[in-house]
A = this chain, B = another copy of it.
Amino acid sequence: MSERGLLIVLSGPSGVGKGTVRGAIFDDPETNFDYSISMTTRSPREGEKDGVDYYFRSREEFEDAIQAGQMLEYAEYVGNYYGTPLQYVEEKLAQGIDVFLEIEVQGALQVKERMPEGVFIFLTPPDLSELKNRIIGRGTESMEVVNERMETARKEIELMTSYDYAVVNDLVPEAVRKIKGIIETEHLKTERVVHRYQKMLEGLK
């Protein structure tokens, strides 16, 4: 197996349950891809270890990494930087190991710019699909609230189109099963497999 690993990016609106789904995927002993550890400038909480939970770096170090083009994606939240160092991801992919990122929508769009060949999975809240019935059925919402909800839905839909797949997070085991199915299916794409056969044939010349 000499082909590059897949870069798998799981994202979605905040609060949708990305962390829970990612945790369930990595709890599964069958999972054989790597989770990329993020870099941050925030202080370690009790029990957190450098290189395990996060790479803890100073603001200067983080900004140097940004300047040097060493961050695959990053964002600032509440005065601290969070991001994905490029080197680890590149190394693993080159070794043929799939790398899994669970990041915010903003970061995912940055990754998409740099590595459009990644597999981008958008986790959607289950209530989005029930939006119509919920808003109309309730019948008590002001026009303002209805419009606000529609606007939120519209924005989510616009972001969704940048992704390859959309998975509804209604039941976590179902979402996990679907995401694993996506990853397995991506490995069956002809453009990945044909390379293996071609290499084999070249070796025969």
A-side residues, CB < 8 A to B, are 122, 128-129, 131-132, 135-136, 146, 150, 153-154, 157, 160-161, 163-167, 178, 181-182, 184-186, 188-191, 193-194, 196-198, 200-201, 203-204
Contacts and interface: CB of A to CB of B under 8 A. Distances in A.
A108 B72 CA distance: 41
Given A178-B184, A188-B178, A197 B161 contact: no
Q: How many copies does the complex hold?
A: 2
A123 B108 CA distance: 34
Q: Report whether over half of chain A's contact residues are helix, strand or loop; otherwise say mixed.
A: helix
A10 to B, nearest CB: 13
Contact of A132 (B157, B181, B204): B204
Contacts of A196: 129
A175 B102 CA distance: 30
Nearest to A205: B150
Contact of A193 (B132, B135, B160, B190): B160
B194 A157 contact: yes
Contacts of A188: 165-167, 178, 182
A189 B154 CA distance: 18
Contacts of A200: 129, 131-132
A181 B178 CA distance: 8
Given A178-B184, A181-B185, A185-B182, A154 B201 contact: yes
